[in-house]
């Protein structure tokens, strides 16, 4: 498994995002990552010049994954410092921003096609890759984990502010993301052929440019032999991101066993999953979620605990049970990044203080 994170570049004087990604990436690629990170990770740019993307090399151990993520965050933080910027693991910018599109031919095509949706987007997610043996297994997994992805979103919620105001959501990133026509929950595909056909049909419409723009909450990676789970906000805390990764591996392992045993996927409609996703983005862990099977409201803690119980046998098989449970209880006790952001704002009345706090946490300070 591996983690990809999107991070904001911040002007330390104002707390607003700053367009320094091109120079930061050039600095980041000089030399090896701090902390002895292995070959395979990277610091790269994204759609907007106010953002960096990091990814870890594949790991089998959650402790090693934690070390790698800290190392690559450290690499991004240093690259930011080299160009006069700070780095923050925030799902959205609390302060107003007008993003600056990165000048790559593909991004320019996207902006021409999608207009304001592309030009306004500056949101940061956490994507987890988990290895699978085949596309058939990947599709069997995707069909069976789709009902749990709203709970992952709730655990990771870290984007309550948007353009200088409280959005009313724990994850407003999840709302902005749905402006893309190919984003969100997926239908039941049934087989590798069904998945290929659905992707080909989406591309054939001409609405999306290519397979990379099939922005489903979980998809078969076009680059690696993995299922890519894309539901989560970037997490403020490294250990929360590792928790998301551990749960993703547990979900994938559990679903793969169910698929191999011929157990059917839950026949929840995509329209109900969109409602469950909305509810998770609205309340995070501080309200209600929809029951994964019945689509009825339940306390958020009950739903995420049900997810943990669902994957517990898989966690035991991979040796992740204790590590995941410890991190899980920490999140339930202190809350998500969204709760922390709102608490900092409640104390200070200053959104720049919210950003400064996130900069400290991202750099490994409390």
For position 40, what pLDDT does the model report? 67
Percent of the chain with pLDDT over 90: 95
Name residues whose C-beta falls within 8 Å of residue 365's C-beta, 6 or more positions apart in sequence. none
Q: Residue 233 forms beta bridges with which residues?
A: 125
Show the tokens assigned to 67: 């070390």
For position 37, what pLDDT does the model report? 43
pLDDT tens digits, one per residue of 195-210? 999 999 999 999 999 9
For position 38, what pLDDT does the model report? 44
Show the tokens assigned to 71: 């190392």
Question: Where does 121-159 have alpha helices with state H?
Answer: 135-145, 149-156
HSE (side-chain half, CA atoms, 13 Å) at 120: 12
* CB-based contact 168:282 (threshold 8 Å): yes
Distance CA 62, CA 54 (A): 17
pLDDT tens digits, one per residue of 320-362? 999 999 999 999 999 999 999 999 999 999 999 999 999 999 9
Q: Residue 206 forms beta bridges with which residues?
A: none
CATH topology of domain 2-362: Creatine Kinase; Chain A, domain 2 (3.30.590)
pLDDT tens digits, one per residue of 267-319? 999 999 999 999 999 999 999 999 999 999 999 999 999 999 999 999 999 99
Q: Confidence band (pLDDT; 50, 70, 90) for 31? A: low
* Residue written as token pair 């590590």: 323
Distance CA 49, CA 24 (A): 10
Distance CA 27, CA 42 (A): 12
Q: Tell me what the mean pLDDT of segment 68-76 comes to.
A: 96
Distance CA 137, CA 144 (A): 11
Vertex 5: Cα angle to 3 and 11 (nearest 5): 155
Domain limits, the chain: 2-362
pLDDT tens digits, one per residue of 209-248? 999 999 999 999 988 899 999 999 999 999 999 999 999 9
Residue 61, classified by CB atoms within 10 Å of its CB into exposed (0-12), middle (13-18) or buried (19+), is middle
Quote the pTM value. Answer: 0.96
């Amino acid at each position: 498994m591996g983690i990809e994170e999107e991070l904001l570049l911040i002007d330390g004087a104002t707390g607003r995002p700053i367009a320094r990604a091109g120079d930061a990436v050039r600095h980041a690629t000089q030399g090896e990552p701090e902390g002895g990170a292995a070959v395979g990770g990277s610091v790269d740019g994204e759609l907007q010049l106010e953002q960096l993307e990091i990814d870890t090399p594949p790991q089998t151990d959650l402790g090693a994954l934690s070390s790698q993520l800290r190392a690559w965050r450290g690499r991004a933080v240093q690259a930011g410092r080299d160009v006069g910027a700070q780095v923050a693991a925030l799902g959205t910018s609390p302060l107003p921003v007008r993003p600056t599109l990165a000048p790559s031919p593909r991004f320019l095509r996207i902006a021409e096609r999608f207009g304001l949706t592309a030009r306004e987007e500056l949101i940061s997610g956490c994507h987890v890759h988990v290895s699978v043996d085949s596309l058939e297994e990947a599709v069997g997994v995707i069909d069976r984990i789709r009902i749990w992805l709203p709970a992952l979103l709730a655990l990771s919620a870290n984007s309550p502010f948007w353009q200088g105001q409280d959005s009313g959501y724990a994850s407003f990133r999840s709302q902005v993301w749905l402006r893309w026509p190919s984003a969100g929950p997926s239908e039941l595909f049934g087989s590798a052929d069904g998945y290929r056909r659905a992707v080909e049909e989406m591309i054939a419409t001409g609405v999306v440019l290519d397979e990379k723009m099939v922005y489903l909450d979980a998809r078969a990676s076009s680059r690696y032999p993995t299922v890519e789970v894309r539901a989560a906000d970037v997490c403020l805390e490294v250990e929360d991101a590792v928790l998301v990764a551990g749960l993703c591996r547990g979900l994938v392992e559990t679903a793969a066993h169910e698929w191999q045993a011929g157990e059917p996927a839950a026949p929840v409609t995509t329209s109900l999953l969109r409602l469950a996703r909305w509810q998770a983005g609205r309340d995070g862990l501080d309200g209600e979620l929809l029951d994964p099977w019945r689509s009825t409201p339940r306390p958020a803690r009950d739903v995420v605990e049900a997810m943990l119980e669902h994957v517990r046998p898989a966690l035991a098989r991979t040796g992740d049970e204790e590590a995941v449970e410890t991190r899980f209880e920490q999140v339930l006790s202190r809350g998500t990044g969204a709760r922390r952001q709102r608490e900092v704002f409640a104390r200070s009345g200053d959104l720049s203080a919210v950003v400064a706090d996130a900069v400290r946490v991202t750099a490994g300070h409390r």
